[in-house]
Amino acid sequence: MSGDVCIVGIGIHRFGRTDGLSGVDQGVYAVREALADAGVEWPQVQFAYGSSDAAGNPDSMVDRLGLTGVQFINVRNGCAAGGSALFSAQMAIKSGEFDLGLAVGFDKHPRGAFNALPSEYNLPDWYGEVGQMVTTQFFAAKIMRYMSLFGISQKTLGMVSEKAFRNAVHAPHAWRRQPVSLEEILEAPLVSDPYTKYMFCSPAEGGVALILASEKKARELGKPLIRLKAATMRTRPPASFEVFAPSVDVVADDTRPRGTASRIASADAYRLAGIGPGDIDVAQLQDTEAGAELMHMAENGFCADGEQEQWLAEGRTEINGALPVNTDGGCLACGEPIGASGLRQVYENVVQLRGDGGGRQVPNSPKTAYSHVYGAPGVSAVTILER
């Protein structure tokens, strides 16, 4: 089949806390918004992939959208669930079997930290009993090691969070939309050293839907062509030091780049799109915690390990910088409803490529946009859009 897969419709239910609405309610809202944006009706949708971690089966939303007999497949793949749903949807169209489909993700997590269970990750009970399932501790240990190896300061971690809250002021779908000063971020209570409370995202609620079409169908609909040039999803290589799989190879030079799921998915995406990191105009990178954004800048090829300190000091990841990163505030400001989070990144990139970002719009009409999601036990999904 010739032509690219295109994103022709986008919809979002705001992230955060919405009492009185279920996760499915928020997913249905996002789907209806996306259908209206694409100018199509639900009976025209030929297939759907839906992701949710804690809010029920996405396919149950057909009760609300319409009982058309549509093929609707549920995806559960940790933090990469939304990206995996999108990967699956674009493959269905690339195969030539379909020309109009849906990727949707939603979640509604209870308040408090994620309550991951060892059995869900093929781990023994003792792993949880000794505290290893507490992700804040793992991420803190990971960034402590990284900071030691590459000279990253806590101030730079704070600058990541400061940028996130500042960007989110202009994102109607974000949860935390008030700026927070660097001083307040750094002086806030520690959760897990070196991270203060403003340096972690929170489990949240929200829904995102994307309508995908073949290029031929997109042209029939008269939509601007936002092309999905790459969508990849990969799992971890050996000893890559991941959530719930924390092993590290002992090497002579511990600062050399280490293989990770993100590095593999990223390299695969660049290959498929036929471009490199220097060709990307705007990027959304997984930032479950402030250090993740920094580490993922390197893992996705945008800079070398250790260069992040200078990048942040020079403002290179700001809206008007060389590579704007997490233009809507990312997970830090939006929170993380697992099923929707990766699709939110793609939603934001479509907004940027359309030029509809308002106060957070990247200048100079960006033409390429990159998104990256990462989760336990070492899975990563990457997309590259082009207009």
Residue 120 in any domain: the answer is: no
- 1 has a pLDDT exceeding 50: no
Q: Taking 90 as the threshold, does the pLDDT of residue 314 lie above it?
A: yes
Question: What's the total number of domains in the chain?
Answer: 2
Let me know whether 44 and 159 are in one domain. Answer: no
Residue 30 sits in the same domain as residue 64: yes
CA 40 to chain centroid, in Å, comes to 26
- For 317-352, the pLDDT digits (tens) are 999 999 999 999 999 999 999 899 999 999 999 999
Q: What is residue 254's predicted lDDT score, i.e. its pLDDT?
A: 74
CATH code, domain with 26:
3.40.47.10
3-state SS record for the chain: CCCCEEEEEEEEEEEECCCCCCHHHHHHHHHHHHHHHHCCCHHHCCEEEEECCCCCCHHHHHHHHCCCCCEEEEECECECHHHHHHHHHHHHHHCCCCCEEEEEEEEECCCCCCCCCHHHHCCCHHHHHCCCCCHHHHHHHHHHHHHHHHCCCHHHHHHHHHHHHHHHCCCCCCCCCCCCCHHHHHHCCEEECCEEHHHECCECEEEEEEEEEEHHHHHHHCCCCCEEEEEEEEECCCCEEECCEEEECCCCCCCCCCCCHHHHHHHHHHHHHCCCHHHCCEEEECCCEHHHHHHHHHHCCCCCCCCHHHHHHCCCCCCCCCCCECCCCHHHHHCECHHHHHHHHHHHHHHHHHCCCHHHCCCCCCCEEEEEEEECCCEEEEEEEEC
Provide the whole-model pTM: 0.95
- pLDDT tens readout for residues 50-107: 999 888 889 999 999 999 999 999 998 777 788 889 999 999 999 999 999 999 999 9
Query: Residue 375's pLDDT band (boundaries 50, 70, 90)?
Result: confident
Looking up tokens 């036990």, which residue turns up?
377
> What's the whole-number average pLDDT of the chain?
93
> What pLDDT digit, counting tens, does each position of 158-187 carry?
999 999 999 999 999 999 999 999 999 999
Inside any domain, residue 191: yes
Is residue 239 over pLDDT 90?
no
Instruction: For residue 90, count CB atoms less than 10 angstroms from its CB and return exposed for 0-12, middle for 13-18, buried for 19 or more.
Output: buried
Least Cα distance to 78 among 242, 238, 228 occurs for 242
pLDDT at residue 2, as a whole number = 60
Pair (210, 334) in one structural domain? no
| CA distances for 258 relative to 60, 215, 248, 373, angstroms | 41, 38, 9, 18
Instruction: Answer whether residue 124 is part of any domain.
Output: no
Tell me the C-alpha distance between 82 and 332, whole Å: 18
Domain identity same for 288 and 140: yes
The tokens describing 354, both together, are 């359309």
**Cα 150 from Cα 111, distance rounded (Å):** 35
Same domain, yes or no, for 235 and 324?
A: yes
Are 303 and 368 in a shared domain? yes
What tens digit of pLDDT does each residue of 186-227 get?
A: 999 999 999 999 999 988 999 999 999 999 999 999 988 999
Q: Is residue 190 part of a domain?
A: yes
Domain assignment of residue 292, yes or no: yes
Q: What is the pLDDT of residue 222?
A: 94
Q: How far apart are CA 69 and CA 239, in angstroms?
A: 44
- Domain hosting residue 333, numbered range: 131-174+185-202+229-386
Give the pLDDT score at 253: 67
Distance CA 293, CA 331 (A): 10
Question: What percent of the chain is modeled with pLDDT above 90?
Answer: 80
180 in a structural domain: no
Which whole number is the average pLDDT over 11-22? 96
- Report yes or no on 98 lying in a domain: yes
Q: What is the pLDDT of residue 256?
A: 74
- For 98-135, the pLDDT digits (tens) are 999 999 999 998 887 777 888 888 889 998 888 888 88
* 330, 281: one domain: yes
Domain assignment present for residue 123? The answer is no
Indicate if 93 and 242 belong to the same structural domain.
Answer: no
Mark whether 253 and 335 lie in a shared domain.
yes
The first and second tokens of residue 210, run together, are 């994307």
Q: Are residues 223 and 277 in the same domain?
A: no
Mark whether 353 and 237 lie in a shared domain.
yes
Whether residues 74 and 147 share a domain: the answer is no
